[in-house]
Amino acid sequence: MPSVWAGAISFGLVTLPISMVTATEDRSVRFRRIHLADNGLVRNHYLCDLEDREVSYSEIGRGYEMADGRMIPVTDADLRGLPLPTARAIEIRGFVPMAAVDPLRIGPGYYLRPEGDLAIRAYVLLQRALARSSRVAVAKLAWHGRERLALLRVRGDVIVLHAMLLPDEVRDPSTLAPAPAAVSEEELEAADRLVEALSVDTLEGEEYRDHFREAVEAVVEAKREHHALPEAPLPQQPAPPLDLMATLNASVEQAKASRGEPAGAKPRKKAAEKKPMTRRPDST
């Protein structure tokens, strides 16, 4: 896989050369922009303000606009040579429990791979140290036009980097919090039963696959063959339940039925986790 960034991880006095590759795929359906009158493709054209002519993509660079309107060109080489420690290095600043990180701040993931045979041992050392600590590393790096925080964690035998939002980039949700409401212990227990009935052990399988592409392809095929479009299911009209307790109980039974469990069956209990045996210190 081609790398999207190359540099090093700075871990104390250890420097580990790495490259970064995309860990996820964008499987979204892509549409083209067309002229509705004749289905012709609509394309972008780039015009130079000073010369009043179209320019090719190879002639386009980036510029920094000064307060007086002057443009100062900034090249890739300029950015690689920034007087900034994090310009070419991922500087690990600390280690925190994963539970201490707000998921809202975690961005897309990138796999980090060691560059060169000499980097493998240091890479494996950092990967195992992260795994043994049950913590994630918080680092800083300059990337995509800014210096940002990053989170390093372990997935299998590979270190994954996630770009992170800064605290002031996450909006305060307090203004959206609902007004205080009384909830009974009986309703909470019913909600607990519903959570248990809907619990799963993995997010794999048909239910967690994106069916949007298939639906789009069915519509496109029908239009191509001049057939009637497939009918969309009628959306359910959301409405607050009049009897919350009855609705919760009905939801539990519906979840059980979807799993093929008999009505009124007790919720499934997960197998108890085995606690690691602690070695008793040798007597002296």
pLDDT tens for 15-30 read 899 999 999 888 888 8
Inside any domain, residue 147: yes
Domain that holds residue 86: 5-25+80-168
Inside any domain, residue 139: yes
Contact assessment for residue 52 and residue 45, using Cβ atoms and an 8 Å cutoff: no
Inside any domain, residue 214: no
How many other C-beta atoms lie within 10 A of the C-beta of residue 139?
22
pLDDT tens for 145-189 read 788 899 999 999 999 999 998 888 899 998 888 898 888 899 899
Q: How far apart are the first and last CA of the chain?
A: 56
Inside any domain, residue 206: no
Inside any domain, residue 152: yes
Q: What is the pTM of this model?
A: 0.70
Q: What is the CATH number of the domain that holds 112?
A: 2.40.290.10
Inside any domain, residue 10: yes
Going by C-alpha positions, the residue among 161, 85, 105 that lies closest to residue 130 is: 161
φ/ψ (deg, to 5) at 87: -65, -35
pLDDT tens for 182-234 read 888 998 999 898 888 888 888 787 777 778 788 888 888 898 888 888 887 77
Inside any domain, residue 18: yes
Going by C-alpha positions, the residue among 248, 236, 126, 259 that lies closest to residue 185 is: 248
Inside any domain, residue 231: no
* 275 pLDDT higher than 50: no
Whole-number Å distance between alpha carbons of 38 and 41: 9
* 274 pLDDT higher than 60: no
Total structural domains within the chain: 1
